[in-house]
Amino acid sequence: MIDLAVACLLLSLPMMTIFMFVGVQNVPRTVGVLQPMLLMLLLALSRIAIRYALVDILHVVRQRGGSRVAVYGAGKAGRQLGFAIQHDGNASLICYIDDDESLDGHRIDGVPIHSTNDIGDLIENSRLNEILLALPSIPRSRRLEIVEELQAHSVKVRALPSMANIMDGKVSIRDLREVQVEELLGRDPVPPDEELLSSAITGKVVMVSGAGGSIGSELCRQIAARHPRQLILIEHSEHALYTIHMELKERFAKNGETEITPELANISEAVVAARMMERYRPQTVFHAAAYKHVPLVEANPISGLKNNIFGTYHCCIEAEKVGASRFILVSTDKAVRPTNVMGASKRICELILQARAIGRSDTVFSMVRFGNVLGSSGSVVPRFRAQIEEGGPVTLTHRDVTRFFMTIPEAAQLVMQAGAMAEGGDVFVLDMGQPIRIFDLACSMIQLSGRTLRSEDNPDGDIAIEEIGLRPGEKMYEELLLGDNPLPTQHSRIMRAEEVMLDWPELSKILATLGRALDVGDLEAAMAVVQRAVPDYAHSLPANVSIPEKNHRTAAG
């Protein structure tokens, strides 16, 4: 319309000059003014009519039977998303929803804006199928509040990515994704301290064992981004090692600052650990290699104990021999008052590092303990998502089971920061907020997928939740601390635990006895030794297994 007005104005200038000042016989002077005005009117009306016929009417026809959506957020990202939806043709944009009550009743390109006060009636009256969250920069706590409010209604929820991903000013409906479970944690991510992240990495030789695992691979990404001189990837799985090595080569090797070296090796073997440490002489070691799946380790305790405990032992001793500055163990909340073999093995791993630390070693040993990692292999979230996509049922062990959760990047950053803060023998834990009930997590995932929960109150629902009973060695709830008085650190969300520990002479005897029992496959003897090392290990042992007396002392963890 502006272009037409400018063109008609330029046309009117010579016509006004001719008709009003020069004059044309038998033609009124006002034609010089009226003709451009009438031309502008006719051109505008014709374009409006054609646009309405070809765009609006055909758009409505295409949208019949399509999804009826609302965009939550009337800001820049919301307006761009709304524009993309209107021109996509596969969905009908019914309205915008915004927290700002002053926008209620306004319109964007003819689409009304509603406040959140009547969101329930709005969803029902407008027959909305889906709500798209265009709120890329709000805190996670506020996002959780919005999602919880929408969960009360049978509407699918999808969201735009973070603001960093749409800084180019373009928003497409292809950018929409399912609401990620990490957005339901109820707390914002733990902010990293960049100085801590880089202090033990930049310009150094860094080794990561278990480099292809969920935590190990994210550790490698975070480490490579902070420019170590050399990054050594130790991994027993060929496919996992190939995957992370190729990713790191494509992303980081081109800068020439970091040499990335893959090693296909089983670091739990003494000769392999010695060879790796002697060959590369790392300055910082992150030990993430372990068997972690509770039911599998419970069914294969000899393999689990040997891999986890002696893998840590050999790496720890050999790293100390070559003068590594820092050795950081990735531990778990299952090591606290363990009820399964995996948790008990990780607690012994912690004891090994603590015992070496009090022996005046030049290597600073520390360990990082955290809860469940969202999206890691074997976690409940991918399994729940697959079960929902298949139409259910969603299976969980018990409706009252609770767990602490954190994201994979948070876990990796915690490990790196804690390793930089360590003074020797430290057990670091994260302030992870309140634990999440797994049943509530399953309900949220079902509702956010646009489906309804089938229950006694709603027998016509889409997906049911079934309880299958606790697995062997599984707890109803997890803990992060053995003691009650965690000490603060220079990071506001990381604490230092104060726990019991063993002297190295005593622990080395326990490890020697355990090693002999595992080598001959004597499970009963091995479990008795584990119980001796971890007295609070709550596990049923055969009646003929005697439990040696404990001899622990307390020290700052």
Q: Is 158 helix (H, G, I), strand (E, B) or coil?
A: strand
For β-strands 494-496 and 499-501, DSSP reports them as unpaired
Buried b (16+ CB within 10 A) or exposed e, 317-347: bbbbebebbbbbbbbbbbbbbbbbbbbbbbb
Q: Which of 245, 234, 247 is nearest to 285 (CA)?
A: 234
| CA angle centred on 405, ends 499 and 237, rounded to 5° | 90
Quote the CA–CA distance of 413 and 426 in Å, as a whole number: 17
Q: CB-based contacts of 503: which residues, under 8 Å, 6+ apart?
A: 355, 358, 553
Quote the CA–CA distance of 545 and 548 in Å, as a whole number: 10
| Distances, alpha carbon 556 to alpha carbons 482, 485, 491, 553, in Å | 12, 11, 18, 10
Phi-psi region of 433 (alpha: psi -120 to 50; beta: other; left: phi over 0): left
| CA angle centred on 360, ends 358 and 362, rounded to 5° | 125
Does the active-site annotation cover 170? no
How many other C-beta atoms lie within 10 A of the C-beta of residue 6? Answer: 10
Q: CB-based contacts of 74: which residues, under 8 Å, 6+ apart?
A: 96, 97, 98, 100, 103, 108, 113
Q: Which of these is catalytic: 306, 334, 346, 475?
A: 334
Q: Name the residue with tokens 């919301």.
A: 78
Quote the CA–CA distance of 241 and 235 in Å, as a whole number: 6
Q: Which of 136, 177, 138, 172 is nearest to 156 (CA)?
A: 177
Catalytic residue ranges: 334
